Chains A and B, each alone.
Chain A
Amino acid sequence: MIRRLGASRAGKTFILAIAAILVIGTLTTGCAKTGTSNKGERMLRFTAANMPKMDPAIGSDDAAGTMHVNLYDSLVFPKNDGSVEPSIATKWETSPDGLVWTFYLRQGVKFHSGKELTAQDVAFSMQRLLTVGQGWAYLFKGRVDKAEAIDKTTVRFTLKKPFGPFLSTLVRLYILSKDDVMAHIQKPGNYGDNGDYGTQWLLTDDAGSGPYKVKEFKQGESVLAEQFKGYWNGFKPNSPTSIKLIGTTEAVTVRTLMSRHELEISDTFQSIEALKALGQIPGVEVLQYPSSGITDLTLNTKKPPTDDVNFRKAVAYAVDYDTLVKDIFPGNPKAVGLVPSALAGHNSKVNTPTYDPDKAKEYLSKSKYANQLDKYPLELAWVAEVPDREKIALLIQASLAKIGVKVNVVRMPWASLVDKAARPDTTPNAAIVSESPDYPEAGAHLDSRWHSRGAGTWLQMDWVKDPDLDKAIEDALSTSNWDQRMVKYQAIQEKLMDLQPSVGLMQGLTRRAYQAAYIKWPAAEAAKAKQPVTSLYGYVLYARDIEILTDKVPK
């Protein structure tokens, strides 16, 4: 048998070692620095789902959009009600046919490099965006024929065909310094004489004139930007001196950072449960405001049994919407129609199905699959990376079971769903998706969701591909007159409800936790006052308008 080699002595050694580690640890670590600032600095930190692609010609997601609005200026700036106001352009005019747009620029605007912003830079930014073709380019590609500098402060865009929302889309034309970009091109590249067009450099730096300039980019970790002292529009007394995007949405990390006052505003990916926990941290509040997004159930119109309009209508009337918006996602308004209600041109009077099992059964009886439901179970996919969607899927499964429709709920990784959405025969009968348009008009949503040119992507899993609908959307988008355009948008929404290619489930509701004790955030104030909050992602975190009250940071 083994004998102990001296338990008491070893025990003493062990205890002494642990004590030594604790003492050394305490001495070497001390207290971690918490709070918002170093010696009067005011840092605004927010989390995001991923690191941003900071080149406006490359990135266009939420993280990228947030950095773009802070690093760059645009000709016009979006207002909360969906209209735009002058920014770098002080005024503009358009030709009677709506094809030529002329913008007059503000003088004396400087880029972060100190160079002056001119019409040449604006024309260059549009040309570069169209050439690279990624990021925000899809808003302009195929629509803008040319961009030219008339003189130092006048720029002219010529469109290929009239595009009514052109002015609204210009909030996404971020202006880069031509000289700075061309000084950083790498050759050879994909763009001939322009080499890589500065794409490598602009992923980690900026060439903008916005209120903040990039100080440090740490791949996979964070981006730090500091105030640009020469910003033409100045700052508020308590505007952040620097902003930091932290590339994580991990609930435990966000909660810890919030509790230490090392994070001011959370991302929008926190679950309801995580937000509840965040709201319990002293000084932290959870803000919720309507977003421009909508969550809907796409129905594949090219695959049985959802190829039958009566079957689709039966589904629309069978969903228990009240349970969805009251119990599962409290606060989210029920969708009205198929277009987000925050967008200009939304038709609030469109006939929207409500929970009515009798009516659902009535439609089902008219369906060609009425007597063979057991042969046609409905495949319902939800995106595996968004766990909250499973709750919706299970609710729909239970709702449809009441009218005799069997639903196979399928948890599908995003990559698989994107792949399956490429063909009508592989696209699931039904899928739960959310979408936010990039400019605040109903046309943006109608175009991306139902114009045939987008078929084969996850945005069009209903596979409508209706030439008449295409024409109607194109006609509306090419209408320069605002009122007439809005009327056309509303008519299209009525036609859509007849087709029922999707079921509008709920309006988007953005939820973020923030340090209400020491952050003065216009979006929060507007939401509390029941006023509209900007519906464009990125702009809600326009840091120049946010104030940090350092004296109110809890000790």
Chain B
Amino acid sequence: MTGHRPGPFGDWLTKKRAGARSSEGEANRFVGGTTVSETAGSIRRPLAARGLFRTRSWNQAPAPGGAGRGAGHLSGHSRLAVAEGVGSLLRYLWRRLLWSIFVLVGLSIVIFVIARVVPGDPVRMALGPQAPESVVQEMRKAMHLDQSLPIQYYYWISGAVKGDFGISLMTRQPVTADLKQCLPATVELVFFAAVVHGVMGILLGILSASAADSWLDNVIRLVAYVGVATPGFVFAVLFMLVFGYWWHLLPVIGRLGYGVSAPPTITGLLTVDSLLTGNIPAFIDAFKHLILPGVALAMGAMSQEARITRASMVQNLNKDYIFNSFAQGIPKSVIMRRYLLKPSLIPTVAVLGLDIASTLAGAFLVELIFNWPGFARYGITGMLMKDLNVISATVIVVALTFVTVNILVDIVVAYLDPRIRLT
């Protein structure tokens, strides 16, 4: 099984065989932006612990009492590891939660103060230059803008913890009601974009790594370079030009076409709600409306994830455990899927989470171009109009998203790479 065999790995195996022993030593590797010190054994241990290797690890000492062989030993070890893992995970989550609350409170104070000290009288801007001064003063009073900053903050935070972010000067509706309308629109868009850039980015990365240095790899890398360097709104304009202006293939504004009855609001996500209520025409129409803005939003992140996945896979391909797997005659597809892809996805997943959060924050121009009634557009318009309550609420929501996504990413990365301990 380990003999010289023809195929794509033939030359590589020959070279690796010659230097196999020397590669067992310590080596500093740069994986996914992090330098780690690893040994061949340290790679194999987690693989063995997860049952990826059926045989005992090279560095594994025999267990006391002669019970160190086979599945029984590994199973006991796993139970202990799982218990330890769950404990450390809970401790980690608790610490992160406390830290997150601290971050959110700090951020709320900073943004609250900044929004109020930048130039511009929000009430006068909202009511117009001809509104009687008495009316302007009444509204200032109603918004507590006649009070000192600490008192204003007290009123604001008291409401915010109860989900009341005050009234928007821009829409004259409660900010919470506005968020209920616009947040699902952006969540749907970002989720769609996340699926597109997550799936397509990883697929393109795998494809590129699988065909490393071929024409296909070069094409994907070139496209990815362009994708990373090009802002989302450029893609938005481009897509609108191609699929809206020239070809009339897809709808270009809004979430639902005229004449299509909207499904009853359950989640606020039109595609989900239409499916839940069995309204297939609405689902198809809502999906069509998602395509152009969603893909435009996904392009940058997709390109980045494709590049990272490729780089990570190509790097891991050079590692001893992969060589060993080939040497043991494990089929290439299994090696790719089980041993190469999973560790190679660690940096991608880490970036993926941040990309999702960044997409939320960066959706403004895409929403503007496609007249998407979303959260990003609402927030930025609020900032331009100096709508104090909108500014504070949207920043808090974005911060909350980043914090949550970061925690989730840490957990997923810890799952993918047992060397990373949640301490």
Contacts and interface: CB of A to CB of B under 8 A. Distances in A.
Interface of A: 1-7, 10-11, 13-14, 17, 25-26, 28-29, 31-34, 38, 43, 51, 53, 55, 58, 60-61, 133-134, 137-138, 141-142, 190, 199-200, 203, 218-222, 224, 244, 246-248, 250, 252-253, 255-257, 259-260, 262, 385, 413-416, 418-420, 422, 438, 448, 454, 457-459
A255 B128 CA distance: 30
Nearest to A136: B130
A53 B118 CA distance: 26
B210 A256 contact: no
Contacts of B254: 218, 221-222
Given A10-B211, A34-B248, A415-B125, 5 more contacts: A11-B215, A51-B171, A219-B178, A220-B182, A454-B130
Nearest to A420: B119
A324 B399 CA distance: 47
A246 B212 contact: no
12 contacts: A2-B212, A5-B336, A25-B291, A28-B284, A53-B172, A133-B138, A134-B131, A200-B172, A220-B182, A244-B258, A415-B119, A454-B129
Which A-B residue pairs are the 4 nearest by beta carbons? A415-B120, A7-B214, A220-B373, A457-B129
A167 B348 CA distance: 69
Contacts of B245: 255-256, 259-260
Interface string B183-222: 0000000000000000000010001011111111100000
Nearest to A242: B258
A3 B237 contact: no
Contacts of B210: 4-7, 10
Interface string B124-148: 1101111110110010001000000
Interface stretch (B6-14, B62-70, B83-91, B153-161): B6-14
Contacts of A448: 129-130
A33 B127 CA distance: 39
B182 A219 contact: yes
Nearest to B206: A10
B373 A2 contact: no
A14 B207 contact: yes
B377 interface: yes
Given A6-B211, A219-B181, A253-B253, A137 B135 contact: yes
A218 B120 contact: no
B369 interface: yes
B161 to A, nearest CB: 21
B128 A60 contact: yes
A38 B173 contact: no
B383 to A, nearest CB: 9
A3 B255 contact: no
A55 B172 CA distance: 10
A415 B120 CA distance: 4
- Name, among A32, A43, A248, the residue most crowded by chain B CB atoms within 10 Å (CB to CB): A32
Contacts of B203: 17
Nearest to A11: B216
A413 B118 CA distance: 11
B318 to A, nearest CB: 7
Contact of A418 (B120, B130, B237, B284): B120
A190 B135 CA distance: 12
A10 B371 CA distance: 39
Contacts of B182: 219-220
A459 B215 CA distance: 63
A501 B350 CA distance: 61
A138 B132 contact: yes
Nearest to A138: B130
A38 B258 contact: yes
Contact of B250 (A6, A29, A203, A413): A29
Given A2-B318, A5-B211, A419 B120 contact: yes
A2 B15 CA distance: 11
Contacts of B378: 220
B118 to A, nearest CB: 7
A4 B252 CA distance: 41
Contact of A190 (B129, B142, B212, B214): B142
B288 interface: yes
A441 to B, nearest CB: 15
